Amino acid sequence: MRIRFSPFYLFFLIGILLVAAVVLRVEKKETEHKIVVVIPQDPDYLDPHLASAAGTYEMMFNVYEGLLKPAPDGTLLPAIAERYDITEDGRSYTFYLRPGVKFHNGQTVTTADVRYSLERLMGTQTGQPLSSYFTKVEAVETPDAERIILKLKEVDAALLNNLTTASIIPKDYQELNTHPIGTGPFRFVEYRPGQRVLLEKFDDYWQTGRPFLDKVEFRIIPDREAALLALKNGTVDIYPRIDNNRTAELGEDFYTLRDKQNLVQLLAMNLNRKPFSDHRVRQAVNYAINKDELIELAAFGYGTKLGSGLSPAMANYYEPGLEDFYPPDRAKAQQLLAEAGYQDGFRTVLTVPSNYPFHVDTAQIIVEQLKKVGIKVEIELVEWAVWLQRVYKGRDYEMTIIGLAGKLDPLPTLIRYTSDYANNFFNYKNTEFDRLFQQAADESDQEKRAELYKKAQRILAEDAAAVFLMDPHYTVALRKEIAGYQTYPLYIQDLSTVYRVSKKPR
Amino acid sequence: MIKMRYLPGKIFSCVLTLWLVSLLTFIVFQILPGNPAQIILGAEASPEQVAALEKELGLDKPLSLRYIHWISGVFRGDLGNSLRYARPVRGLMVNSLKVTLPVAGMAIIFIVLFGIPLGLAAGKYHWHKRGVLLSVVTQLGTAVPSFWLGILMMLALAKLFSYFTPGTFIPWDEDWLGALASLIPPALTVALPKVAVLTRYVGAAFVEEESADYIRTAFGKGLAEKKVFSNHLLKNILISVTTVLGLMGTDILGGSIIIEKVFALPGIGRLLIEAISFRDFPLIQAIALYLSGVVVLLNLLVDLSYSFLDPRIRWR
């Protein structure tokens, strides 16, 4: 008998496999009021006092709360503190605890918990501060069960804004990093590295009626293409920070929201290196770059032009008009280069972190724009770890592109340009700027403070400390049936107001 | 049969290999720029925060000390804590292997199930039209890059059947059927190019052995074709197939970084990328240990299996 190698054998096998695959795929009926948000990376620490990654904060914002909370318009809302008083001299803040706020473990928040949380951040017991935001706080006092008093060594105008990030945690609770407990609208359920972070509704949330959703899942998908497919196929409901050029292909089942994201994308020039030590060369580069064209080509039109180290998202502090301080002017750029002794231009290297495709795209356009005035730029792509080590810490670069995320307060953003700040990788030094910055930090009157910051921004622009490119708009794509999403001028996914239209909020 | 002299020496050389790999990883790590604390915290963190985290993670100690600490832990069965995830390396590895191993297992089943019969067919019909067709197809199969195949497979499955979406890996304890189903497409993607390779390999071996003297003798003494195939030909082909399968096995068990990226699977390949980009020393060491362990173990298995397949090969 001959053995037959019939092709039918193969088709048969393939058939079995495909049928098995389809049968095995058990369609789950959606009965829960749940939403899946796709995020590109794992959280760094679940302990809010150790975490610093923006990607962690945007998730855990739903789990932890501070005495105060940011509002979508960038103002402050009372959270665990119901209200607060500030003394005339700005040296003493009294917060009144909101009664009946519960932790996810059922305990009621006490002033002792608040004190413990703040002192943990300040390093009062350990001698090792976990945050640099509260160095001006001398003592946290809790005279009774209602009041928390912060005594300051000197005026700290950024204190209220900084308190939004000071999460309140249960006193002496040791397992924050594995089983986070906060007071937010959602309770932490589980974290599977590389897969997901799962949250569920906290029934005893102090804000009655919130949240609407029963469950929230943050699905970790690093690949942008895969994330897009997951959104299209219904695995994922919300895709924050979707590429602007990909929204068109989403079709009718989706809608998008856009806003400024308080990010300063800039082209830094190493001021300690020739030729960028020359003020005229930096100005020439500024004149040579056409920001409108850049926004059109790199961000597909979705970006806001910048002129200083702050984004207009910080409306109270932003100095308007600086974005046109250096209108695109090739002749002027060439003239300035000639004055500086570079009539034939020069060669330089632009170092870009390869994990940010947006910065890489921007770099390519900038190369073309600078070529037109005779500056020949070579792009050098480096891994993020190398960028941090060599460019950011080591300040060993000529030009680089990076996005610096803004906070609620201008202080942490503008401190980067002060002469002796450890992370001033621009190597920017200007005593007048330092003076204004210090004056603003010591000023308790918010309006006067804003004036000082505006003056400081003008100096940054005049000195051409960098080329301040744009605040690329944050675009979030959502399924049609999802409503209630709010955008913030911060890196936040607030899901407490989100719901499915089919499961209307009560 | 197994001589007791053989095994201890072999095991010793395996352990030595593993240690050398870990040493090599350590040396490469010393050259690599990057500070884990800074990478974890990013550009937004203040210098104080970075310093505090460095201390917390023990990064203020020299790498050589950390290596000694790590390797002494390994002998006690403790792989240490991941810097990036701030949790035990062992748990992270187990979680990733729960994805990579099933994919690898299914892929190997597919490869054997399709590759060997197809290869025999290719050999048998070597001079026939069908054989030529098969040869062209397998040539294509070996040439197609797997990431492209993966993307095509994903698009086809997603668009045509709306059956599969990337990133849908469901944890095993939640729905094991769903988890298994979601791993079939990546397993097929891993398997297909290798099926083509194995088919060509088996086909070539078939043609070569078919014209060997012992086959002619077997037919000459009046054996039925079926007997000639199963008793003589197949057995000789299997020797070379085992070698190829061993090589493929090490490749597959390491978790395909590219396939895992394309299908957004949280497997060992993705864990490795993450570990490297965060300069997560204990995690990289553990994964390197696993990968080299797989290679060493499979080679050992292949060596051992020869003696069962070929009586001429015996351990000395």
Does A44 or A219 have the greater pLDDT score?
A219
Residues of chain A contacting residue B184, judged by C-beta atoms under 8 Å apart: 17, 21, 24
With H, G, I as helix, E, B as strand and everything else as coil, classify residue A240.
strand
Residues of chain A contacting residue B114, judged by C-beta atoms under 8 Å apart: 10, 13
Q: Which fold has domain A36-41+184-259+474-500?
A: D-Maltodextrin-Binding Protein; domain 2 (3.40.190)
Pairwise CA distance, residues A14 & A12, whole Å: 6
Give the pLDDT mean for A125-138: 82
- The complex's ipTM works out to 0.74
Start-end of H helices in A71-223: 111-122, 159-163
Closest CB to A404 among B38, B43, B53: B43
Least confident of A19-33, A51-65, B4-18: A19-33
pLDDT in tens, A378-431: 999 998 888 988 899 889 999 999 998 888 888 888 999 999 888 899 999 999
- Phi, psi of A225, rounded to the nearest 5 degrees: -65, -45
H/E stretch holding A379 reads strand A375-382
Question: What CATH code would you report for A64-165?
Answer: 3.90.76.10
For the domain with range A263-472, which CATH number is right: 3.40.50.300, 3.40.50.720, 3.10.105.10, 3.90.550.10?
A: 3.10.105.10
Classify the C-alpha dihedral B306-B308-B310-B311 as positive or negative: positive
- Phi, psi of A461, rounded to the nearest 5 degrees: -70, -45
Task: Please name the residues in contact with A8: beta carbons below 8 A apart, sequence gap of 6 or more.
Answer: none
**What confidence score (pLDDT) does residue A20 get?**
65
Question: Is the pLDDT confidence value at A29 over 70?
Answer: no
Q: What is the DSSP string of A279-314?
A: HHHHHHHHHH--HHHHHHHHSTT-EEE-SSSS-TTS
pLDDT beneath 50, residues of chain B: 1, 316
**What confidence score (pLDDT) does residue A1 get?**
37
**What confidence score (pLDDT) does residue B10 get?**
80
Question: Is the pLDDT confidence value at A362 over 90?
Answer: yes
Q: Cα A132 to chain center, whole Å?
A: 18
**What confidence score (pLDDT) does residue A24 get?**
56
Delineate the domains of chain B, giving CATH numbers in brackets: 103-277 (1.10.3720.10)
Average pLDDT of chain A is: 87
| pLDDT > 90 fraction of chain A, expressed in percent and rounded | 43
Find the distance separating the first CA and the last CA of chain B, reported in whole Å.
10
Residues of chain A contacting residue B261, judged by C-beta atoms under 8 Å apart: 222-223
**What confidence score (pLDDT) does residue B168 get?**
61
Whether residues A389 and B38 touch (CB distance < 8 A) is answered with: yes
**What confidence score (pLDDT) does residue A428 get?**
93
Pairwise CA distance, residues B26 & B67, whole Å: 7
Closest CB to A390 among B33, B92, B271: B33
Per-window interface: A 120-149 vs B, CB < 8 A: 128-132
Burial class (CB in 10 A: 0-12, 13-18, 19+), B293: middle
Cα-Cα-Cα-Cα dihedral of A279, A378, B273, A240, to 10°? 60
**What confidence score (pLDDT) does residue A466 get?**
92
Please give the model's pTM, rounded to 2 decimal places. Answer: 0.80
Give domain limits for chain A.
36-41+184-259+474-500, 64-165, 263-472
